Amino acid sequence: MSLRRLFSADAGLSLLLHALKALVALFVNWLVLRHFAVSDFVVWSVTSSILIVATASDLGIGQYTVTQLVSAKRSEWSRYVSESLGALLPLALAAGVFVFLAVEGPPVSYKVTMAVLLATRIAVIPFAVVLNAANQFKIRKAFELGAYIAASIGIAAVIWTGSDVRLALIVLNASFLASTLMAVVFATRYISLRESLRITGLTHTARIFRTALPFTVSNLSGLLTYGGFIFLSSIVLPHEEVAKLAVLHSFVLVNLYQMYDVFLKARQADLADPVRLAPYRRLNLILMLALPPLFLLAGRQALSLIGSPVEIGFVVTAMFGLFIAFEMGNLFVQSITQVNLPLVHRLIVYASIRSAALVSFALVGVLPVADAVRLPLLLGCLTLGSMTAFVYLLRGVQRHDVEV
């Protein structure tokens, strides 16, 4: 694909918009890190992690809806959205309850507000994903970019007035909800809002849960690393170590992971074709080999440029560089597996391996070791698990290539 064709395509524009969104998101995290106390940044990171965990409670129904819409006639879209909405409403309620119980904050009004904002976002997922099926993913990315820009302005106002970090979290999540609702409004170009709001019976709901199982597995396999990472770490690590991990996660891992994910999604047709796969294999190998030494040599210096008040040692830097290298490798082989039907069944075992990372958090929490050792120990266990999962999927891809 030529550069000109890439940037004239929906995928290319989506990639560009996502890159801009990532830059603004980085700026938002920088604002919080620089202008609030380190303890406030930990609250920000842990709460954001909780919300991502809660968002994943859609159990893959969002991706299921996209798959159904793509293969259905446009006249049937409203019915599929209605069925998915019926399945999501109880999950949205459960997610709201989880957020209310898990989010830290003395005012009950704050906890209720965060729960309502999150539950509403989950409930309208079937409407928002209509844009994916209509090949208008770029519109969703544009709304998300607008949400982060609005959030950065709002959070700057919170900082200027000297208000609490929890108000900044409300501003951020209110911006997310506003962008989601804008996507819903745009989606009504393709579906009937009245027909989509007709809630279906329990029979349809049970069928959707069964059919969405593979997407549920795919969602949960990356949840520990991408979403619940800081929340789980906050349970087993001292406050100062959570701050270090929050900086590394927010400013390094999340941005690398998202950019590589969008890049791979924009090239799914190539990933499904073994003939065209070779250049991407080489690129991924170079990325995995280069990340550990590059991050070890320049990671702490790069973080110092953003004025991070958190000191990160040599050992943690080295181990985190190795960890993100395997995470990028996992994203690559998972992307190949998801677009090859003969390999999809391997995602079940893969998810089990990834979920075994919970043992790492439990181990770090119960072992009688010094607090300074807990973070390196956690990163070592997570890296081992990430490497095991990567090798498992890679072998499946290699066998598939030989058979083809």
The pLDDT > 70 percentage for the chain reads 87
Residue 338 has pLDDT above 70, yes or no: yes
> How large is the greatest C-alpha to C-alpha distance in the chain, in angstroms?
63
Q: Can you list the alpha helix ranges (DSSP code H) found in 162-201? A: 165-187, 193-196
Query: Which among 269, 375, 383, 266 has a CA at the least distance from the CA of 329?
Result: 383
Dihedral, CA atoms, 227, 267, 389, 244, nearest 10 degrees?
A: -40
How far is CA 216 from each of CA 169, 211, 347, 373, rounded to the nearest angstrom? 27, 10, 10, 34
By the 8 A CB rule, do 320 and 295 touch? yes
What confidence score (pLDDT) does residue 7 get?
Answer: 38
Residue 328 has pLDDT above 90, yes or no: yes
Residue 403 has pLDDT above 80, yes or no: no
Tokens 């991407």 sit on residue: 280
How many other C-beta atoms lie within 10 A of the C-beta of residue 39? 13
* pLDDT classification of 363: cutoffs 50, 70, 90: confident
Please tell me the distance from the alpha carbon of residue 340 to that of residue 327, in angstroms, as a whole number: 20
* CA terminus-to-terminus distance, the chain: 24
Per-residue pLDDT tens digits for 262-304? 778 667 667 777 778 888 899 999 999 999 999 999 888 888 8
Please tell me the distance from the alpha carbon of residue 16 to that of residue 7, in angstroms, as a whole number: 8
By the 8 A CB rule, do 375 and 241 touch? yes
